[in-house]
Structure 1
Amino acid sequence: MASESPVEKAHDIDNDSITSLPSPESGEHLTRALSSRQVSMIAIGGSIGTGLFLGTGRALATGGPGSLLLNYSLVGAVVFLVMLCLGEMATEFPLAGSFSTYSARFVDEPFGFSIGWNYAFNDAISTAGDLTAAQLLMEYWIPSGHLVWLPSLFFLAFIVVINLIHVKAYGELEYWLSSLKVISIIIFFFLGIAVNAGGNTSHEYIGAKYWTLNDAPFVGGFGGFASLFVTASFAYGGTESIGITAGEQRNPTRNVPRVINRVFFRILLFYILTVILIGFDIPYNFPNLSTKSTATSPFTLVFAQAGSKAGGSFMNAVILTSVISAGNHALFAGARVVYGLSAIGQAPRVFLHTNRNGVPWVAVLLVASVSLIFFGASFLPGGAGQIWDWAQNLVGVSNQIAWWCIGVSSWRFRRAWVAQGRKISELKFPNPLGGFAAPAVVFSTTVIILLQGWGAWKGGFDKIAFVSNYIELPLFFLLYVVWRLVKRTRTPSLLDIDIDAGRHVEGPEDVANNEDIDRREHGKWGWAWKIYGLVA
């Protein structure tokens, strides 16, 4: 089904419900300025944040080292499948809004509307949660009650300004902040091994003794294991944002597959090795481990065990920069989702407005405003810890819903592609796992969402735990029903789905970029350039 222009028009599911995508000529467009180097590090750093640095402590205390490792491994496998599904679509259609746009086109309008606004809300809450975490981190140096929230307001203003300047400014800040996180985790690897081998304040070999301590390795039985799904999902959240950045990447046909193929294994390496070391070096019953205090962050504890006097402050500073990076990333992603919803007629057109540098400034301010309102609740006495706890659960469940929607969209896209006489081999980046990946994502995320609230029923009904684990589901369904009833839309058949609109057509800049990369990687010093590409 051909469209008027594969670059300027989006598919019209109901002939009049999805509007034109903004074009460069309209003055309302995003700028393709993110390099492969920046996108690769954004994909890594975007998912390494408060979930890993602060959330793993509570996860260890709740489920023990065995549940921690198994749960993070299972969720990591699901995210890998999600990335393959998303990469296939994002390479073919590098559009603003990414999976919300794909959901509207390949499933139906209400589906895209629901996940789009759900994810935009998720990013706003995530930004607020990161600012709240910064408030908690500041208490490491500043006594509680002494305006510890003031630096968080400064951090919010800082990331808003960065996001309003230019996508290059956002990309470069994320590159260096993410680099710092990666370097710190690498240092943690070596330090954690040394601590386990006897390089600790007690000068004793730890080995695997914490894996057999009391109820370890599986604390709390199945309930303890299931409750970690939402924590792991919060920690891995942000990986899927590679699709959101596709609309502002240079040469997406080449760069998206390269990033998808490389980045996930790095993320999996960081996460799995990290939780293994945490499980071996920290006992699950360490005092106050389940609190949100930075003093009990597993990373801080390992540095303290090594006997470094400045270790706690150093790690706290690293976690603080991680929080700023995570908030910066969430604000960027939320603004692009709102922009994408506006581009397909599911948000007011005002959010399409961009400044002269191609930044959707109205959308940025909207997400920042919602974050500020949610963050305001942390000003109340004792509110910071509770707000961060709720933000972790809400964002974790929202991430799972996003992964589920990506799976459904990919499933429908592949079926439509084949139904309309196309071959899978014609795709720019065919999913290497074929048709297995999308159904596996849908099934696994469904099981995870249903099981993770198991602990809410154990030992009496926990209303707060139940609501925080499942409130996103009725909200998603409500958004779907409301849009369907108001717009009176229908779900298109596989033959009615437009698989041409918005497909990326390589231009002169893409060709020049390909030639430049090929010339460097196949020249005299080609091996050095390839190594540089992997490292950088």
Structure 2
Amino acid sequence: MPTSSSSAGPSQPLLHRHSNASDSYGAVNVNSALSPEDDQPDVLPVPPVDKSDRKLHRSLSARQVQMIAIAGTIGTGLFLGTGGSLARGGPASMLICYTIIGFIVYITLLLLGEMATQYPIAGSFGTYCTRFFSPSYGFALAWNYWFNDAVSVAGDLVAAQLVISYWAEWHPWAIGLIFWVFLVGINALHVRAYGELEYWLASLKVIAIIVFIILGILVNVGVNREHRYIGGENWRLPGAPFVGGFGGFAHVFVTASFAYGGTESLGITAGETKNPSKNMPRVVKFVFWRILVFYIVGILLIGLNVPYTYPDLSTRSAVTSPFTIVFKQVGSAGAASFMNTVVLTSVVSGANHALFAGTRVLYGLSAVNQAPRLFSWTTKSGIPLPSLLATSSISILCFGSSYVGNGALWSWLQNLVGVSNQIAWVSIGLASWRFRKAWVRQGRSLDDMKFRAAWTWPWGPAFVVVAVTCLILIQGWSSIFPTFEPVDFVSYYIQIPVMIVMYILWMLIKRPGLKSSTSTPRSRRIWYSDLVDVNTVDLSRDEYQDVDVDKVDDDTRHNRVTKGNLVVKALWRLYYWVV
């Protein structure tokens, strides 16, 4: 890990859960001081921290981590991307595809949760692929996912331009610049600033979706401007419910993948999460079911209330949020503007989340010497500032909307991010397959695992790898038939050859199999395999060991929900369920 050469600054009387050591994968020291309460001020006196020992801080509480997972998933893809899905695939294709992707992502989340609970370290699934599958593949994956997050920031800035165009046409570049400065400033302060912003923005989105579900039901049964019962008539329009045939159906898979993308980033927050042995399983078990309910019910109501022929639902120059359309159907311009404001905050939240995740991925790459050492330098507040600036710099892509149209650029960026999400899910399956195999081969008891999704053994990893690979291959059908669309085709498939090239280059440069092979002279060797040996991989390194403050946190939570009068216990249970 690189260190700063500057001298130590003034003595710090308080420790903001600062890590005093880090392993080679960027893991935060498990013995750093942790607060037993989710939001208790950091008031633990410690010796001064030298500036040469700056690392990430484990400062995100359980409520923040859960909302980060929600905020990263319920965002631009749901509020805005569903417009394109409905226009190109129809209501039935949208409902089926989002349900299929939701199930796949749920299994993927369980697989990731097992590894992230056992090894809550920076880098998440990129690090797990490097450690359990192949360092060369992990290198290609991590850089691809970093690019995914960086492009997501650009995509959300373009989305902000689309949302604001609902009220007035303004200079797109100015909107992008304003939001860019705001987001970089927030992420440069402290991880708690990021976590708190995400918590409240996510809370607003959850409330808005609940209101939308209630309002959507009312609109469908006749509480609308025309006082007309809608029912399922939009499913019976000419061309519906499956629009565009198989090509339209396949296209929705990539937009659904874009919408669900971000769930896997909960593993990235593991390195900065308090009491991960308990909090990571809670996040995995409870958050996604809430997301799935919001998505499936929301998608169903959109398909029932909004016709796929609605003007500007998805065109080259504009994209209108179906959520805004439903609120507009009530007959109140104020209600539609309110929903559009929520969509705008969702866009900001999505960009904030992508910027955070991309920064941590680049930090993790540097920690394992797969990126310049500069990117693992952090400030006293635990912010990897060079990684933050590098990630945010890709957002210059959003300024291209002035030349190709907001809607067109948004569609291309959505395809890029959606496919990248799918590659990440495949990679989680591969890492989980090798991790589980190593655990069994080395005779470790399954009971030793801090979290295990027993019902996914042994088929879970294979299911994720096969299912998502099939999706990646077939979803670009609409860019080939009936007419070949070169730009769309590139946006669907460009990342596959890029991943292959990066994998081969890293393999040839590092020549990982050279040391283990003595039978073939170096000059005659063409290929060097770096598939990790499951019989010898170290399963004990980076395992999180609960510290005293974690036990205090567990006891506090247990006492609150089991002791005292019934009303108090019920209120505490409700509190933990909500937050």
Is the TM-score greater than 0.5? Answer: yes
What amino acid is the match of 1:352?
S
C-alpha displacement of 1:516? 1.4
Which residue is 2:69 aligned to? 43
The answer (yes or no) to whether the contact 1:339–1:351 under 8 Å persists in 2 is yes
Displacement after TM superposition at 1:345 (Å): 1.3
Q: How many pairs were matched up?
A: 518
- 2:41 corresponds in structure 1 to none
Structure 1 CA distance for aligned equivalents of residues 217 and 173 of structure 2 = 36
Kindly indicate whether the alpha-carbon contact (under 8 Å) linking 1:137 and 1:293 is maintained by their aligned counterparts in 2. no
Q: Which residue of 2 aligns with 1:431?
A: 453
Q: Distance in 1 between matches of 2:213 and 2:220?
A: 11
- Pick one of 420, 424, 444 that aligns with 1:402: 424
Q: CA deviation at 1:368?
A: 0.8
CA distance in 2, matches of 1:178, 1:250: 20
Matches of residues 94-493 of structure 1 in structure 2 within 5 Å? 94-143=120-169, 146-291=170-315, 296-371=320-395, 373-378=396-401, 380-432=402-454, 433-489=456-512, 490-493=530-533
The one-letter amino acid paired with 1:503 is E
Moved more, 228-237 or 501-510: 501-510
Alpha-carbon distance change, 461 to 292 in structure 1, aligned in 2, over 3 angstroms: closer
Name the aligned partner's letter for residue 280 of structure 2: V
> CA–CA distance in 2 between the matches of 1:294 and 1:388?
9
Please, which of 533, 538, 545 is the counterpart of residue 505 of structure 1?
545
Q: How does 1:4-19 map to 2 (within 5 A)?
A: 8-10=22-24
The 2-side partners of 1:440 and 1:231 are apart by 21
Tell me by how many angstroms 1:348 deviates. Answer: 1.2
- Structure 1, unaligned runs of 5 or more: 1-6, 11-18
TM-score, scaled to structure 2: 0.87
Instruction: Decide whether the 8 Å contact of 1:107 with 1:491 is kept in 2.
Output: yes
RMSD: 1.6
Query: Offset at 1:214?
Result: 1.4
Assess if the C-alpha contact under 8 Å between 2:22 and 2:55 holds in 1: no
| 1:237–1:396 contact (8 Å) kept in structure 2 | yes
- Identify unmatched segments of 5+ residues in structure 2: 1-20, 33-48, 513-529
- The Cα of 1:280 is off from its aligned counterpart by 0.5
CA offset digits 1:378-409 (Å, max 9, x no partner): 3x334433221211000000000000000000
| Alignment-derived partner of residue 535 in structure 1 | 578
> CA contact under 8 A between 1:48 and 1:181: conserved in structure 2?
yes
Contact kept? 2:316, 2:408, Cα under 8 Å: no
SS at match of 2:450: coil
The alpha-carbon deviation at position 215 of structure 1 amounts to: 2.0
Call closer, same or farther: CA 1:134–1:452 in 2, change over 3 Å.
same
Q: Which secondary structure does the structure 1 equivalent of 2:533 belong to?
A: coil
SS in 1 for 2:226: coil
What amino acid is the match of 1:77? Answer: F
**Contact (CA 8 Å) 2:258, 2:414: kept in 1 or not?**
yes
Aligned amino acid, residue 335 of structure 2? G
Q: Which one is further off, 134-143 or 31-40?
A: 134-143
Larger radius of gyration: 2
Deviations 1:272-297 (A, max 9, x none): 00100001101112223223777732
Provide the rounded CA distance (Å) in 1 between the counterparts of 2:364 and 2:275.
Answer: 20
Q: Could you tell me how far apart the structure 1 residues matched to 2:487 and 2:307 are? A: 27
Deviation at 1:454, TM superposition (A): 1.3
* Aligned-residue identity in percent: 51
Task: Work out the CA distance in 1 between the residues paired with 2:545 and 2:476.
Answer: 45
State the alpha-carbon separation in 2 of the partners of residues 366 and 458 from structure 1.
38
Quick check: 1:137–1:294 contact (8 Å CA) kept in 2?
no
> 1:67 and 1:20, CA in 2 relative to 1: closer, same or farther beyond 3 A?
closer
Residue 103 (structure 1) shift: 0.6
Partner SS state of residue 448, structure 1: helix
* Structure 1 outlier segments of 4+, above 4 Å: 19-26, 292-295
Quick one: distance in 2 between partners of 1:150 and 1:315?
A: 23
1:205 match: secondary structure: coil
Residues 162, 406 of structure 2: 8 Å contact kept? yes
How far off its partner does 1:340 sit?
Answer: 0.8
CA distance, structure 2, for counterparts of residue 219 and residue 21 of structure 1: 48
Change (3 A) 1:369 1:45: same
Opposite residue 478 of structure 1, the aligned amino acid is V
Between the aligned partners of 2:441 and 2:315, the Cα distance in structure 1 is 52
| Residues in 2 aligned to 1:527 and 1:91: alpha-carbon distance in whole angstroms | 28
Alpha-carbon distance in structure 2 between the residues aligned to 1:105 and 1:243: 15
1:90 aligns with 2:97: no
CA distance in 2, matches of 1:192, 1:471: 38
Residue 418 of structure 1 aligns with an amino acid whose one-letter code is: V
The alpha-carbon deviation at position 177 of structure 1 amounts to: 0.4
Give the partner amino acid of 2:428.
Answer: I
1:227 aligned counterpart, secondary structure: helix
- Tell me by how many angstroms 1:499 deviates: 1.1
1: CA distance, partners of 2:242 / 2:416: 25
Contact 2:26–2:122 at 8 Å: present in 1 too?
Answer: no
Residue by residue over 1:176-201, the C-alpha shift from the partner in whole angstroms, topping out at 9 and shown as x without a partner, is: 00111111111111111011000111
Given the alignment, which residue of 33, 40, 52 partners 2:78?
A: 52
Structure number with higher relative contact order (C-alpha < 8 Å, ≥ 6 residues apart): 1
Check whether the contact 2:56–2:382 (CA below 8 A) recurs between aligned residues. Answer: yes
Contact 2:67 2:202 in 1 (8 A): yes
